[in-house]
């Protein structure tokens, strides 16, 4: 029954998040201009964006059947909860204006890779859902595939939302 309710829980979070994303994109736009003119990030905007980002990551992990932990409204990851990814958002003020422009160029290619990979991830997610429904356990191959997609998605999102200056790669995490 919890497997059926998961979709409803995710939808209950997604509807208000559509409206919440408007100030997030405005803050990201402002952060981009702050970096362009000052060469460093605004700490207040960084904290605001990181809290929303962490919540969205938790919601995605729940949606992709990677965790059974229903996301809380807190923007921090509790180390006691089982979560498929560790995140560290330490504020670093100085930034590169050149890399800021490189993000705009690479954003298209990363979006293309995520879009194509995401189609396959949705098919695997659908198969994983049926596997859990009938066997009451996760298929390890499906779970590993979804986890790799999720990790790459998080790395690309962190890069595009100005949290990390390291360009994401398709390789394994270090």
CA–CA distance from 84 to each of 45, 57, 64 (Å)?
Answer: 26, 10, 11
- On the CB side of 143, CA atoms within 13 Å amount to 11
Q: 3-state class of 27 per DSSP?
A: helix
Q: Where are the domains of the chain?
A: 2-160
Give residue 101's Cα distance to chain centre: 22
| pTM for this predicted structure | 0.76
DSSP state string for 93-122: -B--HHHHHHHHHHHHHHHHHHHHHHHHHH
pLDDT digits (tens, 9 = 90+) for 60-116: 888 887 777 777 765 554 545 556 566 666 666 556 777 777 887 888 888 898 999
pLDDT digits (tens, 9 = 90+) for 110-147: 889 899 999 999 999 899 989 888 888 888 999 889 88
How many whole angstroms separate alpha carbon 138 and alpha carbon 60? Answer: 17
């Amino acid at each position: 029954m919890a497997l059926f309710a998961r979709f409803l829980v995710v939808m209950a979070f997604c509807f208000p998040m559509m409206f919440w994303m408007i100030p997030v994109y405005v803050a990201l736009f402002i952060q981009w201009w702050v970096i362009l003119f000052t060469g460093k990030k605004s700490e207040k905007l960084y904290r605001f964006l990181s809290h929303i980002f962490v919540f969205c990551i938790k919601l995605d992990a729940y949606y992709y059947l990677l965790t059974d932990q229903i996301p809380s409204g807190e923007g921090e990851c509790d180390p006691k909860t089982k979560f498929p990814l560790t995140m560290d958002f330490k504020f670093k003020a100085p930034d590169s204006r050149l890399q800021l422009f490189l993000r705009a160029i690479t954003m298209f290619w990363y979006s293309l890779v995520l879009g194509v990979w995401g189609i396959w991830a949705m098919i695997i997610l659908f198969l994983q859902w049926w596997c859990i429904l009938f066997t009451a356990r996760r298929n390890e191959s499906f779970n590993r595939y979804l986890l790799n997609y999720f990790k790459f998605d998080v790395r690309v999102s962190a890069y595009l939302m100005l949290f990390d200056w390291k360009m994401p790669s398709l390789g394994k995490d270090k």
